[in-house]
Amino acid sequence: MENHTTVTEFLLLGIPHTAGLENVLFVVFLALYALTLLGNLLILLAILSSSSLHTPMYFFLGNLSVFDIFFPSVSSPKMMLYLMSHDHRISYQGCATQLFFYHFLGCTECLLYTVMAYDRFAAICHPLRYTTIMSGRVCASLTAGAWVGSFVHASVLTFFTFSLPYCGPNQVANFFCDIPVVLCLACSDTSLAQTVSLINVGVVSLTCFLLVLMSYTRIVVSILQIRSSEGRRRAFSTCSAHLTSILLFYGPVMLIYLQPGPNPRLESVVQVLNNIVNPSLNPLIYSLRNKEVKLALRKVLPHGVWISGEKASCHDPS
């Protein structure tokens, strides 16, 4: 790769049709980024410090909070830097790193949502065996599998993308490095890399979506069989936050792939939603209607320290 590559840096062209709005965008994105970090850190602190939240559902939510801290950090700091300094350069190694972590964390999110759907399926459809099905070892294995699988997925994509020679144009038509906008700058045939990336991303996304759909189909059938309206309401409430996050994750992606033709403006809006806006919404989604999280946050916020001496609880959110 070193022998053929003459491009040593790329130029990020940023969000199209936003010339003259740099200061406004900087303030908006900085506020969203700060809100994302603060919200997810509070959720993570609440889960770690409250023994009543030491359940599989909140274990996976804690992992999602870690993801929501790192994912916007892949592109937001660099984007805010060039919004203020107008220096759009990113090194070759920096571009490769950005692409790797974007797909590593994106795949992790996809797999985590799938695991969380399975957790809700086990809690609602098999409540008597829930603690056995979702034991601590199973939760740890599923989470480790999501992170390791995502690492392999991102490594393959990054290798095929940056094993190509880049010797000509270096303007990346986006505010961060992603496979489509980088591959079009390569100086050789990109069909193999495009095929590998399409298959990898497509298979992972479609498989996760189908597994989530299967889980919630079984969940809905089980909930409809509950006789009491209060029981149905409680069962639905435990899934509402996760379903909202799923819609926010897959909705923008469907807008991109179901549109009749390419639309750079729409694609930029979707990328901003995925990279910056959505990670800031998850803490609100999981805390606004969740009594356990709100109670834990009320205990954490005044003291700002770990809570000790709290009685253990066998609460099951299902």
CB within 8 Å of 19: residues ≥ 6 apart: none
Point out the least confidently predicted range of 119-128, 129-138, 247-256: 247-256
With bands split at pLDDT 50, 70 and 90, how would you rate the model's confidence at 124? confident
Q: Which pair of tokens denotes residue 225?
A: 């069989």
> In this predicted structure, what is the pLDDT of residue 99?
92
pLDDT tens by residue, 259-301: 555 566 667 777 788 888 888 888 888 776 677 777 777 776 6
Rounded to whole angstroms, the Cα distance separating 282 from 290 reads 12
Looking at residue 61, its amino acid is: L
Residue 268 lies in a domain: yes
The answer to whether 134 and 119 have CB atoms below 8 angstroms apart is yes
Give 89's strand partners. 11
Task: Name the residue among 313, 303, 287 with its Cα closest to residue 64.
Answer: 287
Q: What percent of the chain has pLDDT over 70?
A: 86
At 119, which CATH number? 1.20.1070.10
How many structural domains compose the chain?
A: 1
CB contact at 8 A, 49 and 302: no
Evaluated on CA atoms 61, 64, 68, 73, the torsion sign reads positive
Query: In the prediction, which pLDDT does 288 show?
Result: 63
Q: How would you class 203 by CB atoms within 10 Å of its CB: exposed for 0-12, middle for 13-18, buried for 19 or more?
A: exposed
Residue 113, pLDDT above cutoff 50: yes
7 falls within a domain? no
Q: How many Å separate Cα 30 from the centre of its chain?
A: 19
Rounded to two decimals, what is the model's pTM? 0.83
The pairing of beta strand 89-91 with beta strand 171-172: unpaired
Strand partners, 171: 11
Q: Cα angle vertex 163, ends 160, 169, to 5°?
A: 105
pLDDT tens digit sequence for 212-239: 989 988 888 888 887 777 777 777 777 7
- CB atoms closer than 10 angstroms to residue 279: 29
Alpha helices in 71-125 (DSSP H): 76-85, 92-125
DSSP state letter for 9: E
Assign 129 to helix, strand or coil.
helix
| pLDDT score, position 256 | 61
Decide: 146 and 115 in contact? Cβ < 8 Å.
yes
The reply to whether 1 falls in a domain is no
pLDDT reported for residue 304: 43
Q: What is the mean pLDDT of residues 23-38?
A: 90
Residue among 88, 86, 39, 85 nearest 65 (CA):
39
| Domain assignment present for 225 | yes
Domain that residue 137 falls in: 13-303
**Residue 244 located in a structural domain:** yes
User: Is 2 part of any domain?
Assistant: no
DSSP string, 267-312: HHHHHHIIIIIHHHHHHHHHHHT-HHHHHHHHHHHHH-S---SPPP
Nearest-angstrom CA–CA distance, 100 and 98:
5
Residue 263, token pair as written in the block: 């639309």
User: Is residue 83 domain-resident?
Assistant: yes
Q: How many residues does the chain have?
A: 318
Q: Looking at 50-59, 154-163, 308-317, which range is the least confident one?
A: 308-317
Contact residues for 191 (Cβ-Cβ < 8 A; gap 6+): none
Q: How far apart are CA 37 and CA 97, in angstroms?
A: 21
Question: How far is the C-alpha of 93 from the C-alpha of 101, rounded, in Å?
Answer: 12
CA distance 223 to 231: 8
| 189 belongs to a structural domain | yes
